[in-house]
Structure 1
Amino acid sequence: MTKASSWLGKTLIYLALIIGAAIMFLPFFWMVSTSFKTLGAISQLPPQWIPSPFQLENYEIVWRKVNFGRYTLNSSILVVLELIGTLLSCAAVAFGLAMFDFKLKKPLYLIMLATLMLPFQVTLIPSYFIWKTFGMLDTYYPLIIPHFLGGAFGIFLLHQYIKGLPKELYEAAVVDGYSPPGIFVKIYLPLCKPALAALSVFTFMGAWNNTIGPLIYLQSKELYTLPLGLLYLKSDTEVNTALVMAGATIITIPVVLVYLIAQKQFVQGIATTGLKG
Structure 2
Amino acid sequence: MVKPRPQVVAHRGASAVKAEHTLGAYVAALDDGAEALECDVRLTADGHLVCVHDRSMRRTASRADVVSAMELADLESLDVSSWKTPWAEMDDERPDTDPELGKVLTLRRLLETVADYHRPVELAIETKHPTRYAGLVEKRLVELLEEFGWTGADAPVRVMSFSWLALRRVRRLAPDLDLVMLVENRQQWYRAKPFLEPDAVAGPGIELVREHPDLVRRMIELHGRRVHCWVVNEPDDVELCRDLGIEAVITDTPGAVGRHLAGSGA
**So what's the TM-score if we normalise by structure 2?**
0.25
Pick the structure with greater CA Rg: 1
Question: Going by fraction, where is strand more abundant, 1 or 2?
Answer: 2
Bigger RCO of structures 1 and 2 (CA < 8 A, at least 6 apart): 1
